């Protein structure tokens, strides 16, 4: 600061208070802008957090048909029973086909056994004729293949029976779910009974929307309360 500025300051020529006030105003404006920006960021963060919570099912979901536990369990048991019935029908159809094919192969085996007996006799009576020996060998090989087919069909039938036995557990699981549902319904009825009151909800006094300590600013003032009491006292 020069001597001239110092002299002017001593004589009141420079308004230091005005400059200081301007600086304070600018500082206040900056603080308000910062607070406003911070509030916006907090609101955006809150919205993002709320959306993320809903997406991750951290908050209780609305009581719709898709979210009601008993409703969902009832759907599971119903659909499970229907699908199990369809599977059993398919398995029964496959089992019937296998049994039919086994019967057909058994008829073929009878024919092959008859041919083997015939060509065995012919080969013994006419050992010089190679055709009889050739046909005997062909029928014996066919018989071996037919027996293998029968064995495969029987193994498939046994596997299907095992599948049906395993599917019985599905019915057991359904019964377990139904038992859980019954317990949940019993608890629900018990809780409803436990919280029952002697006064109907329609006859109850409406609850105050705002009381002291709420974050809302729409509170009844002391004058309003005294006026209300005075009004009831005059009746």
User: Does residue 120 belong to any structural domain of this protein?
Assistant: yes
Are residues 112 and 153 located together in one domain of the fold?
yes
- Which is nearest to 136 in space by CA: 126, 125, 122, 150? 122
User: Does residue 208 belong to any structural domain of this protein?
Assistant: no
User: Does residue 218 belong to any structural domain of this protein?
Assistant: no
Task: Give pLDDT tens digits for 45-70.
Answer: 555 554 555 455 555 666 676 667 78
Cα–Cα distance for residue pair 225/235, rounded to 1 Å: 16
Are residues 89 and 164 located together in one domain of the fold?
yes
Phi-psi region of 213 (alpha: psi -120 to 50; beta: other; left: phi over 0): left
Are residues 95 and 54 located together in one domain of the fold?
no
Q: Which domain holds residue 184?
A: 69-191
Q: What is the largest CA-CA distance in the chain?
A: 155
User: Does residue 130 belong to any structural domain of this protein?
Assistant: yes
Q: First and final CA of the chain: distance in angstroms?
A: 79
Name the H helices within 126-218: 130-194
Are residues 145 and 167 located together in one domain of the fold?
yes
Give me the pLDDT at residue 17, please. 46
Give me the pLDDT at residue 27, please. 46
Low-confidence ranges of the chain (pLDDT < 70): 1-63, 65-67, 204-235
Are residues 104 and 164 located together in one domain of the fold?
yes
Q: Give the up-direction half-sphere exposure of residue 12: CA atoms within 13 A in the CB hemisphere.
A: 0
User: Does residue 20 belong to any structural domain of this protein?
Assistant: no
Angle, vertex CA 25, rays to CA 20 and CA 27, nearest 5: 95
Give me the pLDDT at residue 14, please. 47
Give me the pLDDT at residue 155, please. 94
Are residues 91 and 53 located together in one domain of the fold?
no
User: Does residue 231 belong to any structural domain of this protein?
Assistant: no
Is the distance from CB of 153 to CB of 101 less than 8 angstroms? yes
User: Does residue 201 belong to any structural domain of this protein?
Assistant: no
Cα–Cα distance for residue pair 48/42, rounded to 1 Å: 10
Cα–Cα distance for residue pair 64/67, rounded to 1 Å: 5
Give me the pLDDT at residue 108, please. 93
Cα–Cα distance for residue pair 130/141, rounded to 1 Å: 17
Cα–Cα distance for residue pair 59/75, rounded to 1 Å: 24
How many structural domains comprise the chain?
A: 2
CA distances from 8 to 18, 19, 227 (A): 15, 15, 63
């Amino acid at each position: 600061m020069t001597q001239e500025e110092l002299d002017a300051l001593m004589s009141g020529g420079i308004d230091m208070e005005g400059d200081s006030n301007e600086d304070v105003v600018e500082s206040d404006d900056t603080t308000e802008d910062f607070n406003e920006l911070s509030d916006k960021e907090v609101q955006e963060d809150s919205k993002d957090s709320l959306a993320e919570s809903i997406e991750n099912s951290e908050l209780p979901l609305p009581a719709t048909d898709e979210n009601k536990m008993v409703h969902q369990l009832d759907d599971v048991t119903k659909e499970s029973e229907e699908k199990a019935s369809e599977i059993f029908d398919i398995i029964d159809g496959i089992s019937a086909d296998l049994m039919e094919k086994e019967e057909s192969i058994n008829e073929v085996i009878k024919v092959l056994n008859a041919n083997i007996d015939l060509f065995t006799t012919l080969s013994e009576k006419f050992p010089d004729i190679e055709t009889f020996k050739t046909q005997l060998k062909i029928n014996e090989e066919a018989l071996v293949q037919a027996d293998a087919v029968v064995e495969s069909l029987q193994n498939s039938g046994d596997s299907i029976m095992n599948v049906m036995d395993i599917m019985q557990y599905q019915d057991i699981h359904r019964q377990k779910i139904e038992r859980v549902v019954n317990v949940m319904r019993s608890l629900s009825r018990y809780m409803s009974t436990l919280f029952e009151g002697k006064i109907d909800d329609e006859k109850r006094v409406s609850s105050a929307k705002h009381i002291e300590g709420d974050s809302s600013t729409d509170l009844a003032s002391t004058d309003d309360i005294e006026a209300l009491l005075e009004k009831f006292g005059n009746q």
